[in-house]
Chains A and B, each alone.
Chain A
Amino acid sequence: MEKTRAFLEKPLSRKKFLQLSGATGALLGAGLMESRDVLADNKKEVSYDLNKAKNIINSVCLQCNTGCSIKVKLLDGICVKIDGNPYSPWTMWPHIPYKTSINESAAIDGHICPKGQSGIQTLYDPYRIRKVLKRAGKRGENKWVSMPFEEAVKEIVNGGKLFSNVAGEENRVIEGLKDIWVLRDPKVFKEMSADIKEIWHAKEKDEKQKKIQEFREKYKEHLDKLIDPEHPDFGPKNNQLLWIHGRLKGGRSEFFKRFIQDSFGSTNFHGHTTVCQGSLYFTGKAMSDQFDFDEKDKKAKWGAGKKFYWQGDLSGAEFVIFVGASPFEANYGPPYRSNKLTEGMVSGRLKYAVVDPRLSKTAAKAWKWLPIKPGAEGALALAMISWVIENKRYDATYLANANKAAAKSDKEPTWSNGCWLVKMSAAGGSASGGKDSKPGEFLRASDLGIEKTKKTKTLKDGTEVEYEFDNFVCYSNGQAVTFYPNDSETSAEGDLFVDTEVNGIKVKSALTLIREEAQRYSLEGWAKLCGLDVEDIIAVSQEFTSHGKRACADIHRGVSQHTNGFYNVLAWYTLNLLIGNYDWQGGMSQASTYDNAGEKEGKPYDMGKMHPKKISPFGISLIRHGVKYEETTIFAGYPAKRPWFPMASDVYQEILPSVQDAYPYAIKALILYMGTPAYSLPAGQTQLNVLADINKLPLFIASDITIGESSMYADYIIPDLSYLERWEFQGSHPSVIWKVQPVRQPAVSPIPEEVEAFGERMPISLEAFFLKAAELIELPGFGKGGFKGGLDLRRPEDYYLKMAANVAFGDEKDGSKAVADADEAEIGAFIDSRRNLSKSVFDLEKWKQAVSPELWRKVVYVLNRGGRFDDFEKAFDGKQLKNKYGKQANMYLEKLVKIKNSITGKGFPSLPVYLPIADAQGNSLNDEKEGFDLNLITYREIAQCKSRTISNYWLLGLLPENFILLNSQDAARLGLKNGDKVKVTSKTNPEGIWDLKEAGTTPMEGRVKVIEGIRPGVTAFSLGHGHWAYGSRDVLVDGQRIAGDKRRGKGIHANAAMRIDPYLKNTCLEDLVGASVAFYDTYVKLVKV
């Protein structure tokens, strides 16, 4: 709770405020806004203006990535209140019909969480930057000069001795972007890319060498444009421009990719997925792979898996088991999910259990709290699988379906590969628990001497291709049955548990293998691993299987952010498959969105195809993803220098350490967007080391709204717009069962300065930076004729309004799903509500020009509602969900059979297994035995997001600092009491410090909070506090000291205690399959200070 402070002795007058504002206004913070006449007579009654459409712009929150829809309320152009948008399922339940007029909806407020409410303070953060800042001291020294935008972009583009004024860098020559953009012909890219694949596909070493020589000969004129002609698969030097993003959403995603990939030709466009829940996404990707015809390779193969995941539909569920997920505090997200749980509980519709070492707010209201040992989440899933199978509580009808036709006949939208037969290989190893054989590839028709079937496929361009298909096999009543998985006519059903020989080949069904794995331990054995009671495991399993398909296991970070994350996720999703709850109300659901990029047929603007000279980048990415180590030209046996990730992408923790190791190659320039690897990643100090290193990272450009924990090490910071001043297409989350596309749009005039690019005035932002850079380098795809067909791309709206038109048009090619036209009243309100936006943001004529006239009114209709949302009743299809995944979901992952662990050279399991926590070499860590006696975990309070809400003073009122949670038993053992200050130390950070390089060191200290609601032996801190930048410390700008605000530096951020991998030495522990970082696998010692 907030403490009151002494009454101000001298009243702070309006004049005084103005003076204060003027002092640093030129550089930092919000420009002073016009406000109501505060000196006006206040005696009269006034009308309440916040329920009028003319003072409302509906948009989308980004205080966390839940992306709730918001109603931004404005007074004279100042954002004064944010509420939930009633059109949206996130923020009203049930949400109002889409056709409701905006005058009516103006008087209906939806709900939104405290962070959403506090967004005003992100927008009006006094520490926001308004002009480009250039480093004037060493990296991280926090000395800056402000500079004109155009001058800064010129320096970045042209390079040179940019920091000759900094001691030690007098003669350092930096290559500018124009020097890195060397290979420019899209045709050469395409040809080289194809030839590189040939090199990769060459099996023998000699053959590979021969292909490399051929390549060098063929492209001898271009060899100087490659990073390393000896390793042509590193790709062109263009790849040495590295892009890293934290929170990037639709719209901006395509815009920025257009620059980095489509125009500049760098393959290194990497996101942050693995710091959030990578292994959740990449298990989802592997599970959604289909074995079918591949248009690129012109043959049948595993592919088309989506990087996605499932969540539970809480509105229809009768029982939910949340594992490492807390929908009252996080979990995509509290406004959407909480009321479904609380209503369900109170009405008696629903009951839920929570598996979490900490008594989260969600756990506090649960029917059962299972305080599991961190890292044993997969073990619990296998225990439940074992019980469900033993007690025959699975959905046998669902599991027997081997293909689409079988599923269809049961009216099941999905099916699994549980009854498919797997060949047991004689080779050593016993991943399946069998004695002398291990599961390999699926049995195929050709193994039975049956010829491959001939199939034809009509490609998008109309040509027909013939291809062969080797059918899969299941076993039914003693007979092998061959089938095509996507056959919608001939149904194939198999026995669930098969262990036999077919044609002399030892085979087992995938379910048999999973049962064996689940029976690796007895229930008591599993319970011991989990640190739980057998009775609780049985009770939860019983409940899980007592509601038909209206039950689900809803999992998140607590499952995925371990070294065993991928297999934990696979085990929990397999448990869901056992009751066949996918696409059913109360079961597993997936996200469904209106296409903004225009990729679907018949859309008005296919943004990708509208590039006049589009490059398809190629080469091994810096994070070595999507490619097998063994196929590349730098294969040099095991262990590889750093791990390879054929099953994942956006491997955040690997990006900067790979720069440091120059593996596979060195980087010349980095653009970091809305991300803070130094703060957000476990062992963030390893990331910070690279950011601070001018030799490994010669040029570092950051886009940020303030000087952040990572951007403080940048050479240049380009001010960005906050989420309330810019465009984005937020997309959806699996928990949202409606088809939607929330649209984020400028709601207030920009706080940062206005600049010029392509002769247009616009707010400084990353779009402005790319437009200006493109103008200077003459990069295709921007400016005059930036779109194919002669349309210009001079302003952000030229791009984003076309996307809004795509959303308005709908996803039917004939336009039958287009929204209504905005009528005159709505057009009027649209313009009126934007009356205070500066012309650099809202210029009606320019906006109208960005889309075709017949779409303009539809665009207005969508923007007036803050996006597009299907009506309430449209999410349901009988007892099923309307927006379906509707495909095969794999529990057995054949693809993994052929993939090797690049560190150990061994294989990976191909089915749900429990793996103990281990380092990159597969060794267990024994820090506990060395006196590090507490397992450190993190969690989220609803009052902070992971890294960017410390500027929100209202939230600091709720939680001025975070704590180190400790069970009273541990507190007694360690002699600690409430409020004691302790330092967090670990094996790889024995001093318990943050080494911030030029910014000095800072002890990793926080206050202990002794509670009952945490498993003994576990300690926790909430994410979001313990900042060393973001306005918490003094900075020097143009020679003037800007004092930091101590309130913003309170609390502890203990990520630097998290374990560094003993093999990699410059990276945290990670999951080598799903690529997640380990947030919960470190043991620490608390030292009283």
Chain B
Amino acid sequence: MKEKKMKRSDFLKLAATATVTGAFLKSGKTSAKEEIGAQAIEADLSKLPREIVYKNELLRMQEDLLRALKKPLKERKWSMVLDLRRCIGCSACTIACKAENVLPPGVVYRPVVDEEIGTYPKVTRRFIPRPCMQCENPPCTPVCPVKATHKREDGIVVVDYERCIGCRYCITACPYNARSADFGEVYTEGTPIVQDYELRPNFEYKKEWPRKHGVSPIGNARKCHFCIHRIEEGLLPACVTTCIGGATYFGDNNDTDSLVSDLIARPNITTLKSELGTKPKVYYIWG
């Protein structure tokens, strides 16, 4: 077969031209690109007709996002709004997330619950996407014995795959059942050929994580991270762009001009299990 491998140096070249933001992954650790500064990302929506951008909620949110990236990390407050009136229970988000993050069997970051309410003929169904709530006060981080999971300055709760020891305390601690353990399974195991798309490295936390036994994240805890690797490239999280009902909103709640800030300020906004004091940054519009 022909040599088609992309060399490491190629990646670096691409990275340089991409001039990504000064965002970095772990507190206390700086990355090589931190110095590059808050520049424009690949996406440049300024050339698109304003009318289209205004009408198109995805483009509007992408603009919001690009604007937020110009600010220092700690001034961003990434938030998500799930308008349940618009959620049609299709689970496109669930699968988009599977593909984007190369999630194996048993690991789901973004399930959608489908429940029936009422008695015939007065009956309805409700569909509830349930990603990680990215709590202000996350119950999952304090229980970590090795400080592998923590809240970033922009509010995203992350798992340091290189520190996680797979004890699963965090999985138990999460009141939203938002974390899963990666047991290293493969969908096509037991079929004539295990397929390479399942083994390809993912881009989580802006690094490459090959599917290799004994190597994190296999054996460790995994969770939704708002697709940090996408948002810091100027892209909305995979669940947001793929939402065919237009139910998923994302943006910087510290930016009063952002679409999410608009929605979060409305009287019909709510959060899940607010009584726990977790202060989720994932909000719901129930009706």
Residues of A within 8 A of B (CB): 1-8, 11-14, 17, 20-21, 23-25, 28-30, 32-40, 42-52, 75-84, 92-94, 96-97, 100, 103-104, 106-114, 116-118, 120-121, 124, 126-127, 328-329, 334-335, 338-339, 342-343, 345-346, 359, 361-362, 364-365, 369, 371, 836, 872, 942-943, 953-955, 957-958, 967-969, 1011-1016, 1031, 1042-1043, 1045
Contact = CB atoms under 8 A, between A and B. Distances in A.
Contact of A81 (B44, B99, B247): B99
B245 A42 contact: no
A47 B11 contact: yes
B76 interface: no
Interface string B219-255: 1000000000110011110100111111100000000
17 contacts: A7-B219, A11-B214, A14-B199, A34-B1, A38-B199, A38-B212, A80-B102, A104-B47, A110-B58, A111-B244, A126-B192, A338-B245, A346-B85, A371-B121, A872-B52, A958-B95, A1012-B123
Contacts of B183: 4-8
- Of the four ranges (under 10, 10 to 19, 20 to 34, 35 or more), the interface on chain B belongs to 35 or more
Contact of A11 (B85, B190, B213): B213
Contacts of A116: 92
B4 interface: yes
Given A2-B105, A30-B193, A42 B242 contact: no
Interface stretch (B112-120, B133-141, B271-279): B112-120
A45 B15 contact: yes
B99 A82 contact: yes
Contacts of B48: 96-97, 100, 104
B185 to A, nearest CB: 6
Identify whether the interface residues of A are mostly helix, strand, loop, or mixed. loop
B88 A92 contact: no
Given A114-B90, A872-B52, A342 B85 contact: yes
Interface in B44-75: 44-45, 47-49, 52, 55-56, 58-59, 62
Interface in B122-153: 123-127
A76 B211 contact: no
Contacts of A103: 42
Contacts of B8: 37, 40
Given A51-B43, A335-B244, A342-B245, A36 B200 contact: yes
Nearest to A326: B88
A346 B83 CA distance: 9
What 3 pairs between A and B have smallest CB-CB spacing? A11-B213, A107-B43, A4-B106
Most chain B Cβ neighbours within 10 Å, of A36, A52, A78:
A36
A80 B230 CA distance: 15
Contacts of B165: none
A979 to B, nearest CB: 16
Contacts of B190: 1043, 1045
B154 interface: no
Contacts of B230: 48
Interface string B178-217: 0011011111111111111101110100111111111100
B265 interface: no
Nearest to B3: A34
Most chain A Cβ neighbours within 10 Å, of B88, B189, B215:
B88
A359 B123 CA distance: 8
Identify whether the interface residues of B are mostly helix, strand, loop, or mixed. loop
Nearest to A835: B4
A5 B52 contact: no
A345 B195 CA distance: 42
A4 B206 contact: no
Given A29-B193, A104-B44, A114-B90, A34 B184 contact: no
B269 interface: no
Contacts of B236: 109
Contacts of A328: 88-90, 245
Contact of B207 (A34, A46, A126, A1016): A46
A954 B91 CA distance: 11
Contacts of A1012: 116, 118-120, 123
B63 to A, nearest CB: 11
A46 B206 contact: yes
A28 B171 CA distance: 40
B244 A52 contact: no
Contact of B92 (A114, A346, A968, A1014): A114
Interface in B5-44: 5-6, 8, 11-12, 14-15, 18, 20, 25, 31-33, 41-44
Contacts of B77: none
Contact of B43 (A42, A104, A111, A346): A104
B94 A114 contact: yes
Nearest to B118: A1012
Nearest to A336: B244
A380 to B, nearest CB: 16
B116 to A, nearest CB: 6
Given A12-B189, A48-B229, A369 B121 contact: yes
Most chain B Cβ neighbours within 10 Å, of A114, A943, A967:
A114
B191 A342 contact: no
Nearest to B8: A40
Most chain B Cβ neighbours within 10 Å, of A3, A23, A124, A969:
A124
Given A33-B196, A104-B47, A343-B86, A118 B187 contact: no
B280 interface: no
A117 B96 CA distance: 6
B244 A80 contact: no
A579 to B, nearest CB: 27
Contact of B201 (A36, A81, A954, A969): A36
Nearest to B62: A108
Given A35-B199, A51-B235, A342-B245, A2 B108 contact: yes
Given A2-B105, A328-B90, A359-B123, A97 B52 contact: yes
